[in-house]
Structure 1
Amino acid sequence: MTDNNKPMSALTAALYGALIVYLGGWYLDYWYGNFSLLLFILSAVTCAFWLAERFRFRPAREKAARQLEAGDAARRAELARLGIDKVDGDVAEARDKVLQQPWWLDWTAGLFPVIIVVFVMRSFLFEPFKIPSGSMIPTLQIGDLILVNKFHYGIRLPVINKKIIDNHELQRGDVVVFRYPVDPRMDYIKRVVGLPGDEVSYLNAQLKINGQPAPLTSLGEAYDDESIHYMAQFSEQLGPVEHRIQRRPQIAPFNEMQVSRFPQRELCRYSIEGFVCKVPPGHYFMMGDNRDNSLDSRYWGFVPDENVVGKAFFIWMNFGNLGRIGSFH
């Protein structure tokens, strides 16, 4: 290892050590991780190493290899002048060693193309997401691995999530991943129920949008493994989207004590029967399909547009039930 390689090798080892500590603390729940920010930093660091390899380190190795070949050629020419035709030693092996990329460049510059492709795809195209709770049962089950379309609602800059190009507007009935308004470090997934300007009411377990009941068709009862109870299931129509929801067979009174002091709560009225909310401009009202087991806009308020991550549309894997793979509404 040359003197120039030693500090770079130490720097690379330190960077990987910091990465391991960060990921370990994230996994052990010592702190929240921001995968978008992590990918951005990894892209920037590996890009710097890639540029250094392209314009400094590789040209230096190639120059050293040429000097080695030139020295060998001069040595052989001098020996030939002295009448010595048979010369020991093969410069090719030494040249290959000189040109060999050191490990710290293999693990930085060599990974840059892979990391940047993952960063671009995850930031602007599709992002995987795991369903961690039962709030979207029966549409989505715990353990479903889904894909989120990041460009359906417009192109947003990664990390800061600022929209720079508009695309489709959110529609009632869309299943959306968004940053939790109470703690934006966490991602939530719910269904869009109310759009800006809508009046959303949920009184005695009946959902109404602008005074019009969301059409329901009973599908009977089904056993819910999570709650260990039979739940009443329905087909619900929200805009063009027909999907399934579930509720407890008996309507329970609404507990206003569970509602937090969220921004613009004055736009909502609560009672033992439920609530009525006016959705403010630039915000959305989200609810889970598991209506009696979902922590959603009823309790923590409206979702601002800047918190929207993307539209969930496809289950790409469920290791406990491969039959779950496919699109959903």
Structure 2
Amino acid sequence: MWYIIFAVLTIIALYGLWKLFVKAGRQGWEAIVPFYREYVMAELTGRAKWTVILLLVPIVNIFVFYGLYLDLIKAFGKRRFWENAAAILVPFIVLPLWANDPLVKYLGKPNTEEFKKKYFYKKSMAREWADAIVFATVAASLIRGFLIEAYMIPTGSMEHTLLVGDFLFVSKLNYGPRIPMTPIAFPFAHHTMPITGGKAYSELIQIPYKRLPGFQEIKRNDVVVFNYPMEADAPFNRPVDKRENYIKRCVGMPGDKVSMSNAVLFVNGKPGFVPPEGQLGYLVTADQTGLDIRVMNDKRLETYETNQPNVYQVFMTKEEAAMMKGWANVKQVVPNIQKPGIDDGATFPNVAALKWNFDNFGPITIPSKGWTIQLDSITLPLYERAITVYEGNTLEKKADGTYINGAKANSYTFKMNYYWMMGDNRHNSLDSRGWGFVPEDHIVGKALFTWLSFDELGSGLSKIRWNRIFKGIE
């Protein structure tokens, strides 16, 4: 339905542009031929014709097109703020109106000195500021939406690969920019209004998932930013692109079989990626002097007391665990690994009979687009959420079988690819082990590098982690 509406509105807008071209002394058909249309716009507006070549450059082409387009409507005397805004937001309304208005005429090339002296007026300071703010907002929104965006790491789920206080640049281009699915939103707010709270978006218009071509496909073990799938549920019920942004490592690709055995990841039956700076939780037994938790945290060793005297949970790397074993007041350091065959009540798909936990589960096959499964008591617990919540079907279990969208079905074919995301801090990460698969329409972008990093325990210039500035993410 949305594609049909979009096609109709596009045809109406092109009809108006056709008639405006005729008013300017050109052939109407020139308005509907991509690239040649922009070449003609450059001629009609006095722009350098070579700028049309920039239409071949992703993202830059958006700025070039709108520059030519807004210059064209200036050539017809439409230079007010509301006219510029209307030409961008509702071209299917204003272009036909202007085209059929006998008072609207082609005045000449707006980028020539003669035209500027004759028709342009000096803008007020308020208008200058309004234009600058609107342009900056539009430009920044396009860059954030289609090119690159900055993120901050708020939790320790990726320690030590990424640290709390790291500021990252995340590329939208690598996997292809996602077309905004909820386009009506407050600028620069993700899902919540600053200061006042409340929703920062409207669901009046919802656009089906579509992604522009990217430079690459997602590769196994990429560090990926994505929308948190569980916010599809109450109390949030947020649309896909307004769900909270998470960052994890993509350890499982569509069609892979993933499992964990004694906290070791296996992918397709082989040991999976082991992050060089990844952490586990260790149980540290100390003598009667115990461990000073404040001192431990000052050493960047996240430490918690347990319900056993002088036994602590410490999240650290293998190297840090080996170092701690040499401390005089430490008796024992062992990985805090759950035993197999014990359900922890928090592991996807939360079926007690499977007896899975974060350290021991699977194998489970990640759905891929076009993959067909038989619907039975084994597959339904694993894939029901993907079928219903992420792919928008209704599923009913009746005495005579399973019904999808009201029709009896013995099998189901997936419409999207899915991924398995895990944190490098394996014992302190909320990830796919807790909520399952990440659909492809939730993928935001690829983490590239840290451009700044602040240590909350530091002070002054020592608060800045200088060795992490412009550090690539592996």
TM-score, with structure 2 as normaliser: 0.42
Of the candidates 56, 71, 78, which is equivalent to residue 55 of structure 1? 78
- Out of 190, 203, 210, the residue aligned to residue 248 of structure 2 is 190
Q: What residue number does 1:77 align with?
A: none
| Deviation string, structure 1 residues 166-206 (Cα, Å, up to 9, x no partner) | 54111111000000111142000000010011000111111
AA of the residue aligned to 2:338: A
CA contact (8 A) 1:232 1:248 kept: no
- TM-aligned CA deviation for residue 270 of structure 1: 4.5
Counterpart Cα distance in 1 of 2:216 and 2:125: 48
Residues 279, 425 of structure 2: 8 Å contact kept: no
- Residue number in structure 2 paired with 1:278: 365
Tell me how far 1:261 sits from its aligned partner.
Answer: 5.1
Report the secondary structure of 2:177's partner residue.
strand
- Post-superposition shift, 1:108? 2.6
Corresponding position of 2:466: 322
1:143 alignment partner in structure 2: 165
- Which residue identity lines up with residue 252 of structure 1 in the other structure? Q
> Offset of 1:150 from its aligned partner?
0.4
Are 2:159 and 2:279, in contact at CA under 8 Å, matched by a contact in 1?
A: no
Change (3 A) 1:170 1:279: same
Partner secondary structure for residue 117 of structure 1: helix
1:159-178 → structure 2 map (5 Å cutoff)? 159-160=181-182, 162-178=210-226
Question: Is the 1:134–1:226 Cα contact (8 Å) retained in structure 2?
Answer: no
Corresponding residue to 1:128 among 146, 150, 172: 150
Residues 303 and 227 of structure 1, relative CA distance in 2, 3 Å threshold: farther
Contact 2:157/2:429 (CA < 8 Å) preserved in 1?
yes
Aligned-pair distance for 1:297? 0.1
The aligned residue for residue 153 of structure 1 is 175
Work out the CA distance in 2 between the residues paired with 1:232 and 1:248: 12
Say if 1:309 and 1:112 are closer, same or farther in 2 by CA, change over 3 A: same
Max Rg structure: 1
Displacement of 1:159 after TM fit? 4.1
CA displacement at 1:155 relative to structure 2: 3.1
Q: Does residue 258 of the first structure (1) align with residue 346 of the second (2)?
A: yes
Per chain length, whose mean CA-contact separation is higher, i.e. which structure has more relative contact order (CA < 8 Å, sep 6+)? 1
Give the residue type in structure 1 aligned to 2:318: Q
Q: Residue 156 of structure 1 aligns to a residue in which SS?
A: coil
- Kindly tell me: are residues 169 and 56 of structure 1, through their superposed partners in 2, closer, same or farther at Cα, counting changes over 3 Å? closer
**Alpha-carbon contact 2:278-2:426 (below 8 Å) kept:** no
TM-score by length of 1: 0.59
Whole-Å separation in 2 of the counterparts to 1:221 and 1:129: 22
Structure 2 segments unaligned to the other structure (5+ residues): 1-68, 82-120, 183-208, 232-239, 281-298, 305-313, 320-332, 369-416, 456-464
Give 1:120 deviation, angstroms.
1.9
2:277 & 2:164 partners in 1: Cα distance? 21
Q: Partners in 1 of 2:467 and 2:447 — Cα distance?
A: 18
Amino acid in structure 2 at the alignment position of 1:233: K
Contact kept, 8 Å, 1:224 with 1:230, in 2: the verdict is no
Partner of 1:181: 229
Alignment check: 8 A CA contact 1:135 1:294 kept = yes
Q: Secondary structure at the match of 1:290?
A: coil
Give me the identity figure in percent: 37
Distance 1:256 1:157, change over 3 A: same
Aligned with residue 316 of structure 2, among 231, 235, 239: 231
Tell whether the 8 Å contact from 2:223 to 2:473 is kept in structure 1 after alignment.
no
Quote the residue 1:243 is aligned against: none
When residues 270 and 324 of structure 1 are mapped into structure 2, their CA distance, relative to the original with a 3 A threshold, is farther
What amino acid is the match of 1:169?
Answer: E
- CA drift at 1:130: 0.6
Contact in 2 for aligned 1:196/1:280 (Cα 8 Å): yes
Which of residues 262, 284, 298 is equivalent to 1:204?
262
Segments ≥4 residues shifted beyond 4 Å:
215-224
Is the Cα contact below 8 Å between 1:231 and 1:248 reproduced in 2? no
Partner Cα separation in structure 2 for residue 305 and residue 142 of structure 1: 26
